[in-house]
């Protein structure tokens, strides 16, 4: 671990973290980001791509995901009176892709490659395991582990479903629509 590494200004990158009311959770989100940043091989958080297929930087992707998730929560509240757990939504949105700083690294040829963490664990696992260690509610780790279309499980909670869809929507905006419709008959229960 490179302890001389300059700490990341998590609040500057994601000011919505300040809106997390639970102080313990707010501090945990910042600590988790710092721990992963210290482990990562990246010098600039803006240099990390969203994925191999999506070279667009992950930082504005995640910033847009955080903003869209909160806008959806606001609309649910305004038009339907539906309350979303904003603490959980902000924490999960800010952390959902944070693992990428340790899942990817710049290779010697300048191309991005997977780290041992990226090769051996599912996307979001590293962040989720740090969150569990710090006592972050399991519901937030659940969102981190289910937010990706590559995850085996679909999110169970409204916060998780909001994040799932706005994440995909942002990818459609910056990259392309990767979804196709398959018509089939399926037993519902």
Instruction: Give me the residues that bind Fe ion (CB under 5 A), please.
Output: 97, 148
CB of 61 to Fe ion, least distance (A): 9
Residue of minimal Cβ distance to Fe ion: 97
- Of 72 and 144, nearer to Fe ion (C-beta) is 144
Q: Which residues pair with 57 in a beta bridge?
A: 49
3 state DSSP class of 113: strand
* Tokens, residue 10: 């998590």
Give φ, ψ of 104 to 5 degrees: -120, 155
- Of 126 and 136, nearer to Fe ion (C-beta) is 126
CB of 81 to Fe ion, least distance (A): 30
H helices then E strands: how many in the chain?
Answer: 9, 2
CB of 148 to Fe ion, least distance (A): 5
- Of 97 and 159, nearer to Fe ion (C-beta) is 97
- Of 5 and 121, nearer to Fe ion (C-beta) is 121
Give φ, ψ of 67 to 5 degrees: -65, -45
The tally of CA atoms less than 13 A away on the side-chain side of residue 154 is: 4
CB of 73 to Fe ion, least distance (A): 19
The tally of CA atoms less than 13 A away on the side-chain side of residue 61 is: 26
């Amino acid at each position: 671990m490179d302890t001389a590494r300059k700490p990341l200004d998590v609040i500057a990158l994601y000011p919505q973290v300040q809106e997390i009311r639970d102080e313990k959770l707010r501090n945990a989100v910042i600590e988790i980001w710092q721990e992963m940043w210290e482990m990562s091989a990246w010098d600039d958080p803006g240099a990390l791509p969203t994925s191999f297929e999506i070279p667009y930087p992950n930082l504005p992707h995640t910033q847009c995901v955080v903003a869209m998730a909160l806008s959806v929560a606001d609309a649910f509240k305004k038009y339907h009176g539906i309350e979303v757990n904003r603490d959980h939504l902000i924490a999960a949105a800010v952390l959902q892709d944070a693992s990428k700083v340790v899942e990817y690294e710049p290779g010697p040829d300048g191309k991005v490659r997977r780290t041992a963490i990226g090769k051996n664990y599912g996307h979001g696992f590293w962040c989720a395991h740090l969150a569990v260690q710090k006592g972050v509610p399991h519901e937030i780790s659940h969102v981190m582990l289910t937010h990706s279309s590559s995850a085996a499980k679909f999110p169970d909670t409204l916060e998780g479903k909001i994040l799932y869809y706005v994440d995909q929507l942002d990818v459609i905006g910056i990259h392309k629509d990767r979804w196709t419709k398959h018509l089939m008959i399926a037993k519902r229960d």
